Structures are given as C-alpha cells and as structure tokens.
Amino acid sequence: MSTPNIQLWEVFIRSRNGLAHKHVGSLHAADAALAMQAARDIYTRRGEGLSIWIVPSDTIVASDPAEKDMMFDPALSKIYRHPTFYDVPDEVGHM
C-alpha cells in the first residue's frame, strides 16, 4: 500500500558505545515522534542498537551522481595519501 504525503526519514543506529551512528535505512512517518517509534520497531528488533538518530530525508544534501568523476576520481591517483604508502623504518616500531 502506498503512503502518499507521509514524510520520509533516514535512520542511523549506534550499535555500541564508542562506535559512530551508522545509516541503516529509511522509513515513512508523519512526524518525529512516530518516526522514532517506527525506527525502534523496524531497525532494533534484534538488539542492533543503543541509540537512534532520525533525520528528515529532505534535509540531507547529497552529492550528484552525475558529478561522480569530478568529485572522486582525482583522489584515486594520490596514493601517497594512504599511510601504507610510506615505508616506516624498523627502528620506529609501532606508530
């Protein structure tokens, strides 16, 4: 059944203390209180979370897929940005 005119929300769950909230999916709800309850009912049924964030989907500013090449390709050739690019002398030990 379709749910016209009902706000879409993005759901973020933090699974453990010390971890970041992670996007898990979306849902429809008429307002924030119902969205929070729906997030709890849909996304934490198997003990997945200790904390929930919900965000109205239309407040998210997303990058344009058509601009993917411009946005992300330039990084591919800069392998020196990865820490593994550098040889660390044995004398340094663990960094």
Q: Which two tokens stand for residue 56?
A: 């109205």
Q: Which is nearer to other proteins, 3 or 63 (CB)?
A: 3
Distance CA 77, CA 88 (A): 21
Q: Which stretch binds other proteins (CB under 8 A): 27-35, 56-64, 78-86, 87-95?
A: 27-35
Strands 51-56 and 8-14: antiparallel
13 is a site residue for other proteins (CB under 8 A): no
Q: Which is nearer to other proteins, 30 or 70 (CB)?
A: 30
- Tokens 């030990």 belong to residue: 93
Q: Which two tokens stand for residue 21?
A: 């909230």
- Burial class of residue 57 (count of CB atoms within 10 Å of its CB; 0-12, 13-18, 19+): middle
Pick the binder of other proteins from 3, 19, 51, 56 (CB under 8 A).
Answer: 3
Pick the binder of other proteins from 14, 28, 55, 57 (CB under 8 A).
Answer: 28
Task: Give the footprint of other proteins on this chain (CB under 8 A).
Answer: 1, 3, 6, 27-30, 33-34, 37-38, 40-42, 45
